[in-house]
Structure 1
Amino acid sequence: MREFSLPARYTVPTEGGLPKLLAANAARHPHTAVIARQRGGTWEDLTATEFLADVESVARGLLRSGVQPGDRVGLLSRTRYEWTLFDFAIWTVGAVTVPVYESSSPEQIAWNLGDSGAIAVVVETSAQLAVVESLRERLPRLTRRWCVEPDSGPGAVALLTAAGAPISDQRLAAATATVTPDSPATIVYTSGTTGRPRGCVLSHRAFLATCGNVVAALGPLFRTGESSVLLFLPLAHVFARMVQVAALLAPIRLGLVPSVAQLTDDLASFRPTIVLGVPRVFEKVYNSARATAASGGRGKIFDRAAETAAAYSRAQDTPGGPGLGLRLRHRVFDRLVYRKLRAVLGGRATHAISGGAPLGERLGHFYRGIGFTVLEGYGLTESCAPTSFNPWDAPRIGTVGRPLPGTTIRIAEDDEILLRGEHLFTEYWNDPAATAEVLRDGWFHTGDLGRLDEAGYLTVTGRSKEILVTAGGKNVAPAVLEDRIRAHALVAECMVVGEGRPFVGALLTVDDDFLPRWAEEQSLTGLDRAELLDHPALLAALDEAVRQANEAVSRAESVRAFRVLPGHFTEESGHLTPSLKLKRHVVAKDFATEIDALYGT
């Protein structure tokens, strides 16, 4: 058993909660831009004073409508300025935010709002409002509904601002004063990778402890008046939510966009100094750049540049550092390739923060080698996002960093990762049995497996619920193989299978961005997609990707057979969570026939 902790670098105030951040910013930095919203294709900055005024105006409207301290209020919207506005307004009246993914099905919406006992909900569109209205009989407590962008009439912000005008400063202050560090701030429903979501209750203390220590530990990345972060991940996910709060705690300029659809344009116009993402975003940037280079006849140059970047990054971890020859090659490729890639990421960012799933050493070394260090971290909804992250000045690629200051990580005898600290959730809403199952003896039992090195850097080796046990009794961690197989440009997604089977197999999907370019290289442009997926040359290329991945594991753990699927794993198909994690049980159920075919059954 090994454990490691770092002393806290931020002290949670003894009174109040998250609403005090806005008042503190208005007092210390009244004219500093703290948040930016898109209006007509341009960015409009709001100062700390202006944002506080907006929040208090909406909060008055919530009070006038009957929202009381402790009430739960649903928030169903894409990431946008109004999401953050309503989140802080709900907190300002002492209520509890219940985020709902805008992609949620009616059944999921009904569960989140019904299980939490929400009395009100804010939605983004009239279509979402219609869905909520259709659930009225199932949600008798939900008596207040507002829409940010209705098809006609004033939106939620205008309605609540007008309604709240008679509410006095004293009444608003009295509601805010009910908030203590230990008051619940939000009920975040887990993504449901293994079943029906559970409501994870996170307190104001959890957010303040997490974000205060993140900002303190990553100080050079959170410079007030200089730094900025562009948030495009869904704010219903705790990772994005943590960044929202951290940006306003620092404070630094926070930009909000609804999706990754126009990410390149948004990065170019906002020019953040920090980029936030999940591994699939960074994989997509890499694969798209490689595909573009290949289509322009520069594929070999890109591949050599990528190899040089990775070698340069690895050499930085050696006593002597990069040698002269490597430095010269790196300098040449910086002019030819790396500068263009950094420009795609906005041109100012030197660091990114990645979470939600393992990034993998391959991409970690590539990005650091081009001058854009991705700081990988690890956490769960129950730990208010990060419970560990790599230091900005001493990252160890392949690990998820050191513990959040003020927290302790312990590796149990069976290699399970255990956590302790102020950043942890308090309970699963309406589920004391599930709470007692994971909160034992003062420790949160994560269900993840890992190891700590002497310096306290954590490596996650697998999730106990995801470990496959073959018919021969061999334990297999899918993530190791999946990351390496996805390294091939032709592979979009990969899921390793083999539970109770005689050997390990894999389901693969093909990257449609790269497939046409590959077909052209192979002189196969006359074939349609279905014919390409079944072509011996493509199967041989994928077989090589699998062979290279198998080099990282023992023969008993290696993939012996794979099957190419005609479609993709997507959130719309139900195979990915909104944070882009595989729903393994859903994939296994939907593709049971294909899995059986791998084993001749």
Structure 2
Amino acid sequence: MSSIPALLRDRIAATPDAEAYRVPTDDGWESLSWREVGERVRGLALGLAALGAGPGRRVSILCSTRLEWILTDLAVLATGAATTTIYPSNTAAEAAFVITDSGSTIVVAENDEQVAKLRSVREELPGVTRVIVVDGSAGDDEWVVPLDSVTGEGDYDAMVDAITEDDLATLIYTSGTTGRPKGVELTHDNWLYAADAVRQLGLISPADLHFLWLPLSHSFGKLLEVVMIGIGVPTAIDGRLDKIADNLGVVRPTIMAAAPRIFEKIHNTVVASMRREGGAKLRIFEWARRTGIRVSRARQRGASLPLTTRAEYALADRLVFAKLRERFGGRVRYFISGAAPLNTDIAEFFDAAGLTILEGYGLTESSAGSFLNRPDAPRFGTVGPPLPGTEVRIADDGEILIGGRGVMRGYHGLPEETAAALEDGWLRTGDIGELDEAGRLRITDRKKELIKTSGGKYVAPTHLEGSIKAACPYVSHVFVHGDRRNYVTALVTLDMDVVAPWAAAESLPADAEALREHPRMREEIQKAVDQVNADQASYATVKKFAILAEDFTVETGELTASLKIRRKIVEERHGKTLDGFYDG
């Protein structure tokens, strides 16, 4: 197989009438077959070619997760051009940087709002010849054309046949938690390798139904796109975050991938609602959770369960866990988690409920998929063994090095940065980790994010952050601080969706500004901090914390699109509060 469009063509030939995608409509959901997808991609590809897309060119997509994103991506690739991905949450200046740095000549924008963003920086985009709008009006501006008008004629198959596996397929700009984004060059072969490696595991079949909400601008979402084409798995697509819970109950998928924040929020919502119920319901829930986690840990060890434990678990399942599974449609075989570390306590809770989360690991620079836990032998706290064909080494300083066909071609236009990241063909991940006796990778922290206190002790902030979030259902995000300081501190934000019902039941203030300083709220956070501190060395304990009135969000720039904290932005924005921890 030489390219993603060739992969799609083979899929259409093999199962033309099978369901490919399912999309929301005003009346419910409607499906497209692989044949119908092929027809739409063909027409759009020929239209894009007529507008100048082709070998050596780039087309940017500025759009949320929806069917048109995938159709446009496949059409761009079919012309021989490469897709440049832009998060719809990016500012006009950020979008302009990606467009100009990548050399994109066409931009596909989702709606009038995104078009307005581009118009505001039009003088900075001299190389852009056309903006194609998915939902919106072109107006009188010839620079903008509607997507449904993009058609053309020509030899589609000849275009596809001309693409080679080494051709550039995608430019994805790293989110830049610590610096300026870099364009990661991924070839057709990079994606085809990663997708085939997942296929070899036999975890997914055409009988599955995949629910996709992840940003397709992120490498994780893009990998899932290619995986499902290769295997022929139908995908229900809806990128609206506020619709995830409703969609799961209606679509009833068997597989869904998500960032850890989604699982944290589900966990915290369930725990908080049980705490509000109190009494017998809370006692039953806590008993069921303890029983389920005992069973989960036994499964991880490969230990057999006593008959009494099996009977207890069957009762816990009937009283608690079966109801939780029903919230997700009742058919989920497993979830997949990536993009950031998943807390072990939360992973074990979901596993206890029969909703196993397979945590994986990869970088944009390694085509997103490099490691994945297996359903038959998950070990929570690890990201599993490498995918078939991926090689791993641990450097002398603990840094994880990855080799294999999934590793990027390089950073766009940055030869020095490319040489620094790729050492003798090995990708330097910037993450610190270790391999267990079964070859499963455990990540301890990011090399650049390790805190070194003024006493010379190293502290892993993301471990502490995840543990505190798991210990208190009212917490949305935690930012642990202390580099070159004499002790560790933290900023905490509240998940008001979870906090508000609790606050109302406790007759506490309803707004975050008043609530954050309330002794009752601080007491709840302090209990979680104390619980986590009890398992830490003294130098790694959180000595002080502040509750912020506003949550970290993608829109405010404190989170990346994959919901990871942008540490430098948070430090700059809340520097006064952080400095205050160490005054006097």
TM-score by length of 2: 0.96
Alignment RMSD = 1.7
SS in 1 for 2:235: strand
Taking a change above 3 Å as real, the CA distance of residues 152 and 443 of structure 1, as seen in their structure-2 partners, is closer
Q: Tell me the CA shift for residue 124 of structure 1.
A: 0.7
Q: Tell me the CA shift for residue 310 of structure 1.
A: 1.6
Q: Is it true that 1:280 corresponds to 2:261 in the alignment?
A: yes
Q: Is it true that 1:92 corresponds to 2:78 in the alignment?
A: yes
Could you tell me which residue of structure 2 aligns to residue 188 of structure 1?
172
Q: Tell me the CA shift for residue 373 of structure 1.
A: 0.8
Contact kept in structure 2, 1:509 and 1:566, CA below 8 Å: yes
> Which residue of 104, 124, 128 corresponds with 2:114?
128
> Which residue of 209, 231, 235 corresponds with 1:228?
209
Taking a change above 3 Å as real, the CA distance of residues 337 and 562 of structure 1, as seen in their structure-2 partners, is same
> Which residue of 150, 157, 160 corresponds with 1:160?
150
Q: d(CA) in 1 for partners of 2:538 and 2:67? A: 51
Could you tell me which residue of structure 2 aligns to residue 206 of structure 1?
190
The amino acid of 1:336's aligned partner reads: L
Q: Is it true that 1:450 corresponds to 2:433 in the alignment?
A: yes
Q: Tell me the CA shift for residue 319 of structure 1.
A: 4.7
Taking a change above 3 Å as real, the CA distance of residues 527 and 272 of structure 1, as seen in their structure-2 partners, is closer
Q: d(CA) in 2 for partners of 1:502 and 1:263? A: 43
Contact kept in structure 1, 2:508 and 2:515, CA below 8 Å: no
Could you tell me which residue of structure 1 aligns to residue 465 of structure 2?
482
Contact kept in structure 1, 2:512 and 2:550, CA below 8 Å: no
Taking a change above 3 Å as real, the CA distance of residues 534 and 325 of structure 1, as seen in their structure-2 partners, is farther
> Which residue of 236, 249, 261 corresponds with 2:230?
249
> Which residue of 326, 333, 342 corresponds with 2:325?
342
Q: Is it true that 1:150 corresponds to 2:147 in the alignment?
A: no
Q: Tell me the CA shift for residue 539 of structure 1.
A: 1.9
Could you tell me which residue of structure 2 aligns to residue 113 of structure 1?
99
Deviations 1:166-186 (A, max 9, x none): x133xx233222211110101
Of residues 35-44 and 230-239 in structure 1, the stretch that sits farther from structure 2 once superposed is: 35-44
Could you tell me which residue of structure 2 aligns to residue 10 of structure 1?
none
Of residues 129-138 and 499-508 in structure 1, the stretch that sits farther from structure 2 once superposed is: 129-138
Q: Tell me the CA shift for residue 492 of structure 1.
A: 1.5
The amino acid of 2:543's aligned partner reads: R
The amino acid of 1:160's aligned partner reads: V
Could you tell me which residue of structure 1 aligns to residue 495 of structure 2?
511
> Which residue of 39, 45, 49 corresponds with 2:31?
45
Contact kept in structure 1, 2:189 and 2:405, CA below 8 Å: yes
Pick 1 or 2: higher relative contact order, CA cutoff 8 A, min separation 6.
1
Contact kept in structure 1, 2:451 and 2:459, CA below 8 Å: yes
Taking a change above 3 Å as real, the CA distance of residues 526 and 452 of structure 1, as seen in their structure-2 partners, is closer
The amino acid of 1:99's aligned partner reads: T
Deviations 1:368-418 (A, max 9, x none): 111111000111100110211111221111100001110101001110000
Could you tell me which residue of structure 1 aligns to residue 576 of structure 2?
593
Contact kept in structure 2, 1:482 and 1:496, CA below 8 Å: yes
Map of 1:27-426 to 2, 5 A cutoff? Answer: 27-151=13-137, 156-161=146-151, 164=152, 167-169=153-155, 172-217=156-201, 219=202, 221-224=203-206, 226-297=207-278, 298-426=281-409
Of residues 145-154 and 341-350 in structure 1, the stretch that sits farther from structure 2 once superposed is: 145-154
Q: Tell me the CA shift for residue 325 of structure 1.
A: 3.3
Q: Which stretches of structure 1, 4 residues or longer, exceed 6 Å deviation after superposition?
A: 152-155
Q: Tell me the CA shift for residue 155 of structure 1.
A: 7.2
Deviations 1:34-77 (A, max 9, x none): 22222224222111111111100100111112222121000011
Q: d(CA) in 1 for partners of 2:39 and 2:513? A: 57
Q: d(CA) in 2 for partners of 1:278 and 1:212? A: 22
Taking a change above 3 Å as real, the CA distance of residues 433 and 549 of structure 1, as seen in their structure-2 partners, is same
**Mind listing any 5+ residue stretches in structure 2 that lack a counterpart?**
none
Q: Tell me the CA shift for residue 133 of structure 1.
A: 2.0
Q: d(CA) in 2 for partners of 1:115 and 1:532? A: 45
Q: Tell me the CA shift for residue 288 of structure 1.
A: 1.5
How many residues align structurally? Answer: 577
Q: Tell me the CA shift for residue 230 of structure 1.
A: 0.7
Contact kept in structure 1, 2:268 and 2:474, CA below 8 Å: no
Deviations 1:247-294 (A, max 9, x none): 111010011102221112211222111011110001111111223333
The amino acid of 2:233's aligned partner reads: I
TM-score by length of 1: 0.93
Q: d(CA) in 2 for partners of 1:273 and 1:332? A: 24
Q: Tell me the CA shift for residue 529 of structure 1.
A: 4.2
The amino acid of 1:402's aligned partner reads: P
Once the two structures are aligned, what percentage of the paired residues are identical?
39
